[in-house]
Amino acid sequence: MSNSVPKQMSESLRIGCLLTLAGGFQDAYSYILRGKVFVNAQTGNIVLFAQNVSERRFEKLPRYIFPIFAFIGGIYIAQRIEISFKNNAKIHWRQIVLIIEIILMIISGFLPHRLDFIANILLSFVCAMQILSFNKFRGNPFATTMCIGNLKTATLLLCKYHVTKKAYLLKTSLHYFLILLMFAVGAAFGAVAARQIGIYSIWTAAIFLILCLIMMFKEKV
């Protein structure tokens, strides 16, 4: 684990917190308003897909399988964007990814409930792009759309700190716990906003991403 200062704004703790707020928000939004589908946690969708297969509720299968395919597509497209624009001097490839994410989030907010499956496809695509493109903070690997890896790393670092007493290990562990807290806050905020505002509340998550985009344009990406 690195204890150095980030060289890229895209790896800063501020960006990480905003992206994680958006990640938690999206999962609460899709589960509450878009048919109990997890746009971030594809493990959950695979479990629900398998459950419905076992119960022969085949009419519900598209609800879970299409977000999984969208996630695969998002990973693929984000990787192609990185390959194509990695050496572009005018715009960083992560900024392109953020712009696409924001556009798709805005579109999803306009989709009525009869098109929930399309909204979930768009948001799963967004999640996949984000998890590939923003996978480090301060040089350390992390995820903005799920918790298990961050929780594991936070705990391992805490254990290593107790053994070695190296202060930077405790500091980094606390950063991971902060990221976990941001996901929970984002999910709680998403749940409240979903119930109060409805389908348009996803634009709040888009605002978090817009703030990230502005920060990345103002400072070194």
pLDDT digits (tens, 9 = 90+) for 81-137: 999 998 888 888 999 999 999 999 999 999 999 999 999 999 999 999 999 999 887
* 41-91 pLDDT per residue, tens: 788 889 989 999 999 899 889 888 999 999 999 999 999 999 999 888 888
pLDDT tops 50 at residue 2: no
DSSP string, 116-159: HHHHHHHHHHHHHHHHHH--EETTEE--SS-SHHHHHHHHHHHH
pLDDT tens readout for residues 15-31: 999 999 999 999 999 99
Q: Closest Cα to residue 186, out of 32, 29, 22? A: 22
Domain ranges of the chain: 9-218
**pTM of structure:** 0.87
Q: What is the DSSP letter of 92?
A: -
Identify the burial level of 43 via C-beta atoms within 10 angstroms of its C-beta, where 0-12 means exposed, 13-18 middle and 19 or more buried: exposed
> What pLDDT score does 60 carry?
87
| Structure confidence by residue, pLDDT tens digits, 134-155 | 988 777 888 888 888 899 999 9
Indicate the burial class of 13 (C-beta count within 10 angstroms; 0-12, 13-18, 19 or more).
middle
Res 146: pLDDT: 85
Pair 187, 29: CB distance under 8 Å:
no
* Mean pLDDT along residues 161-170: 94
The CATH T-level fold of domain 9-218 is Growth Hormone; Chain: A; (1.20.1250)
Which pLDDT band, with edges at 50, 70 and 90, does 8 fall under? Answer: low
Q: What is the pLDDT of residue 5?
A: 45
